[in-house]
Amino acid sequence: MSSMSTTQQPIARRHRRTALVAGLAASALVLAACGGNTGEEEGGGSSSAGEDTISVFGAFATPLEEPWDGAIHAALTAVAEDGAITYEHVDDLATADEMERSLRDIIATENPDVIVGDAFAAEDAVREVAKEFPDTAFVFGSGGKEQAPNFSVFDNWLQDPAYLAGMMAGGLTKTGTIGVVGAMPIPEVNRIVNAFTAGAQETNPAARVTVSFINSFFDPATAKQAAEAAIAGGADVLFAERDGVIAAAEENQLPVFGMMVDQKDQAPEYVVSSLVWNMRPTIEAVVAAVEDGSYEAQNLAEYSFLKNGGSSLAPINTETAFEIPADLITMVEERQAEIEDGSFTTPVNEEEPAGSTTVGG
Amino acid sequence: MDFPILAVLAATLTIATPLVFGGLGALLGERTGVLNLGIEGTLYAGAFVGFLVASRTDSLAIATLAAVVAGALAGALMALLTVTLGVNQHVAGIGTTLLLVAACDFTNRLLFGGGERTVTVKFDRLFSGGGILAQYPMTFVAFLLLAPAVWWVLRSTGAGLRLTAVGENPEAADTAGISVARTRWTALVVGGALMALGGSFLTLSVLGTFTLDIVSGRGWICIALVIFGRWKVWPVVLGALLFGFFDALQLQLAITSAFGSVPNELLIALPYLVVIAALAIRGRGVRYPGSYLTPYRRA
C-alpha cells in the first residue's frame, strides 16, 4: 500500500519579522487547506491485502464529523476491518472543483476499483469525471438517477425507521403536538419528516406535527432554539432530525428521537430511539458486484431500506424517565415485522411539509 | 393557541447572550482602532476549548477559565500581527479565524474523531420554570455584569479614556505618554477573552457538546452589531437583543398555524434583513474611530 505522507521541508530560522509573518500566514493557509487532508485507514487489517482485494476510496464533500458522510465512512471502515476491501479516504472537498480535482488525483495516483462519496454539491462535476473513467465504479450519494455504465447512486432512505419512530411519538404525546426540527426542505429530509408524520398519524390521528427548518446542516444552537419554540408551541415529543434538539428535550424532560446513529448516550433518560442508517449492505452489494465483474450503474436506494438491513430503528430505550406503553411497543414491533416481510411499504413523500401540520385533521 | 410571547422573549435573551460577549469583545478592540476579524475563530476556539476541558475535567469553572485563556491567546495573536508587526487588519483577522477554526477541527478529530458524540457537563438554567428569567448563568453575567462593567470602564476610568484616546488619535495619546501598543494589546487580549466566553456559552451552557460549524457566523453578526451600535456599549447590547428577538420570533412564527403560508425562507431571513435594514439606516455616515484599521508607527 502506498504511503500518502509527504516529507516536511525544514524551514530555516530567520530573525526577521517578515519571515515570522509569512510563516504565520502560511500556517494559516496550510491548516485551512488541511481540511481536505488525505487520511489512510488500516484497510484490509492485515498485510495480506493483496491485489485481489477490492480497493475503495472515499471522497467526501463534508468533514467526516458530519453524520451523513460519517455513516458512509463508518460502514467502509467496518468492511475494511473485515478484510473485504482496502480503504482510503479524503474529506472536506467542499466545492465542486475541489471534488473534481481530487477525483482525478485519486484515479491518477491510486486508481481504486471503487470510489464512494457524496455528489449533492458537485453533481455535474462528479458525473463528468465518471464518464471519463468508465472502468472505475463511482458510487455516490445523489438526488439524481444512475448514469451508465459506471455511476451508481444511493441516498439515506430512512423512511422506514422514520415511520416507526413517528408511531412511537404519536403514542407518547399527551398534548397531541409533536415537534420536528429539520435542516431544510430538500427531498431527503422531506421524505423522512413526512414518513415520521405518517407514522404519528397511524397511532394518533388527531396529532399535530410542527416542522421547523433551520436552513443549515450544522447549527445546533439554533436547532435547539427551534426545539424550544416547538415546546413553547405545545410540543411534548421531539424528533431531532438535526443536532441540538436532544439538549432541548433533556432540559425540558421530554421524549426525543435521534438520527443517523443511536444517540441514546446523549440523553440516556430521554432518547426513546433513533433512526439508524447502515451503509454496509450498500457497500457490500457494490463490492460483490465489482468482485464478480457484474457491476453496472444502478440505483442502490433499496439497500438502505429497513427490510434489507440498510436502516433500522435503534433498540427502544428501556430506561427512560417516562413510561413507554407496552402495547405501543408491540404495535411498532408488529409494523416493523410487516415492513421486513414486505407486507407493508412505507409511503415515500418528498413534498415540503407545512410548518404546522395537522395530521388527519 | 395563544402566541407564546414570553417564550419568545426568553429565547431572545438566550440567542443574544453570545452576541453580547462577542460584540463587546469586538468593541473593545475597535475602540483602540483595531478591527478583530479573528472573532469568528475566537468564538469557535472558546466553544471548542471550553468543551474539551469540560470533557477532561468535568469542571465548568476550569472549562470556562480555559476558554478565557484560549480567547486571550487568540487576542494576543491578533495583537502580535496587527499591533507589533503592523500587518493589514483584514488579512490578519481572517487568517486568525482560518487558523483557529482549522486548529480546533483538527484537534477535535484527533481527540474525539469517530464513535459516539461526547457530551460534557453543562450549566443548568437558573430560576428554572421562571419564564423569561429561566436563563443560563452566563446570560445574567452578560447583561447584568459585563455590559455595565464595560460601559463604566470606557466612560469613567483612566483605562477607558486611554483606550478611546488611542483609538481616536494615537499620535496625541503617544505624546501624552500613553503606550499605544500596550493599550491595543490589552484591549485585544481582553476582547479576545470575552469573545471566547461567548463561544463557550454555546458548548458549556446551550448544548453540552461540540459540533463543527457550531458558531455558524455569529462572529460576523457581532462585527455588524458593533457598527450598528456605533462603538457604544448599550446600542451594541440593544442590537444583540434586536437580532435575538427577530430570530426567536421567526422560529416561533414558523410553527404557528396562522403563518403557515409565509415562505419558510423569508422567516429565516428575517433577523438578517432587520440587521441589514438597521445598518442601512444607522450605519450611514457613521464616524469610525479615528485610527480605525491603521497601525501606529512613530514618525
Residues A339-361: pLDDT tens digits? 999 999 999 999 888 765 544 33
Q: What is the CATH number of the domain that holds A137?
A: 3.40.50.2300
Q: Is the ipTM of this complex over 0.85?
A: yes
Chain A CB contacts of B206 under 8 Å are 220-221, 224, 247
Q: State the pLDDT at residue A167.
A: 97
Average pLDDT along chain A: 86
B60-72 mean pLDDT: 98
Question: By mean pLDDT, which of A94-98, A349-353, B65-69 is the weakest?
Answer: A349-353
SS (H, E, C) B228-263: HCCCCHHHHHHHHHHHHHHHHHHHHHCCCHHHCCCC
Chain A partners within 8 Å of B85 (Cβ): 17, 20-21
Average pLDDT of the residues of chain B: 93
A298 close to B (CB below 8 A): no
Instruction: Select the residue of A21, A221, A354 nearest B207 (Cβ to Cβ).
Output: A221
| Overall average pLDDT of the A149-160 stretch | 95
The pLDDT value given to residue A51: 59
Shared domain for A26 and A140, answered yes or no, is yes
Residue B116 vs residue A143, higher pLDDT: A143
Q: Give the mean model confidence (pLDDT) for residues A98-126.
A: 94
C-alpha–C-alpha distance, residues B158 and A90, integer Å? 54
What's the average model confidence in pLDDT over B7-26?
97
In a domain, A299, yes or no: no
Indicate the pTM of the whole model.
0.87
A290 belongs to a structural domain = no
Q: Is A219 in the same domain as A343?
A: yes
The residue segments making up the domain with residue A85 are 21-154
Higher local confidence (pLDDT), A9 or B154: B154
Domain spanning B5-123+136-282, CATH class: mainly alpha
* The predicted structure's pLDDT at residue B115: 65
Q: Percent of chain A scored above 90 by pLDDT?
A: 75
Tell me: do A89 and A180 sit in the same domain: no
Residue A79 domain-assigned? yes
In a domain, A294, yes or no: no
- How many domains does the structure of chain A reveal? 2
**B46: confidence class by pLDDT, cuts 50, 70, 90:** very high
Same-domain status, A174 and A145? no
Q: What was the pLDDT predicted at A120?
A: 86
Measure CB to CB from residue A28 to each of B8, B95, B259 and give the nearest one: B95
Residue B286 has pLDDT above 90, yes or no: no
Q: Where are the domains of chain B?
A: 5-123+136-282
Q: Is residue A29 part of a domain?
A: yes
Q: Same domain, yes or no, for A114 and A262?
A: no
Close Cβ partners of A136 (under 8 Å, ≥ 6 residues apart): A107, A111, A112, A113, A114, A115, A130, A150
Tens digit of each residue's pLDDT (9 = 90 or more) over A283-294: 999 999 999 999
What local confidence, expressed as pLDDT, does residue B279 receive?
Answer: 81
3-state DSSP assignment of residue B116 = coil
Enumerate residues 119 to 178 of chain A having a beta carbon within 8 A of any beta carbon in chain B: none
Instruction: Please identify, among A132, A154, A176, the residue that sits at the C-terminal boundary of a domain.
Output: A154
Task: Choose the final residue of a domain: A110, A137, A154.
Answer: A154
A71 and A128 together in one domain: yes
Of the three residues A139, A154, A169, the one that is the final residue of a domain is A154
- The verdict on A353 and A264 lying in the same domain is yes
**CB within 8 Å of chain B, chain A residues 330-349:** none
Q: Looking at residue B119, what is its pLDDT? A: 86
What pLDDT was estimated at residue A19? 43
- What sign does the CA torsion over A63, A69, A70, A76 have? negative
Closest residue on chain A to B135 (Cα): A251
Same structural domain, A216 and A328: yes
Share of chain B above pLDDT 70, in %: 99
Residue type, B260: G
Q: For CA atoms A320, A323, A328, A333, give the dihedral sign.
A: positive
| B177-236 pLDDT per residue, tens | 999 999 999 999 999 999 999 999 999 999 999 998 999 999 999 999 999 999 999 999
Between chains, do A218 and B251 touch, taking CB under 8 Å as contact?
no
Residue-wise pLDDT tens digits, A6-47: 334 333 333 444 444 444 455 544 444 444 444 444 444 443
In this prediction, residue B1 carries a pLDDT of: 53
Do A269 and A232 reside in the same domain of the chain? Answer: yes
Q: Percent of chain A, pLDDT > 70?
A: 84
A186 and A143 share one domain: no
B8 contacts in A (CB within 8 Å)? Answer: 229, 232
